Amino acid sequence: MKDAETGFDCVLESPLGRLGIRLQAGQLSRVEFLPDTVPLQVPVSLFASRVAAEFEGYFEDAQQRFSVPVAPAATPFQQRVLTALSAIPTGQTRSYGELAVQLGSGARALGNACRHNPLTIVVPCHRVVGASGIGGYAGHTAGPELQRKLWLLDHEGVDLTPLKTS
């Protein structure tokens, strides 16, 4: 049973702050960055424990892939974008333009779909960068959100030098 106060199946501490995990029908449906004021919450089920363990594994070793089943709430276009994001290998990036061409879309539409990614980290929207720099993260081009993107890319072994200087 979900925590009545937060509605999460688990709230984890991570190197990026607290993460709220929501499950639906035995699948991961949402991952949210939370303020430190939200209390930690132990997993409420075996599946929530499995999800928590996969996050812990990823934060220890970026090469660990997530294998839990996912069911993000998304439009058909967003689903196509999420699928394309999931295909970007750990330690690599793609530009918004490259993915837009691959999907037969515009870079802004792709960026908007990334901005609304309900499965942050699991579906690696952080691996999408601008043509001449880091780009944004979760709809922000500065602040803690962008610092999370930089941390994730660094954790995965991406050379950030060209992204920071452009």
Taking CA atoms, 157 is separated from 23, 66, 126, 150, in Å, by 30, 17, 13, 11
C-alpha 81/C-alpha 78 separation (Å) is: 5
Query: What SS3 state is found at 9?
Result: coil
Q: Rounded to an integer, what is the distance from CA 156 to the centroid of its chain?
A: 13
- Catalytic residue annotation: 125
Q: Going by C-beta distance under 8 Å and a sequence separation of 6 or more, which residues neighbour residue 20?
A: 6, 8, 10, 11, 30, 31, 32, 33, 34, 38
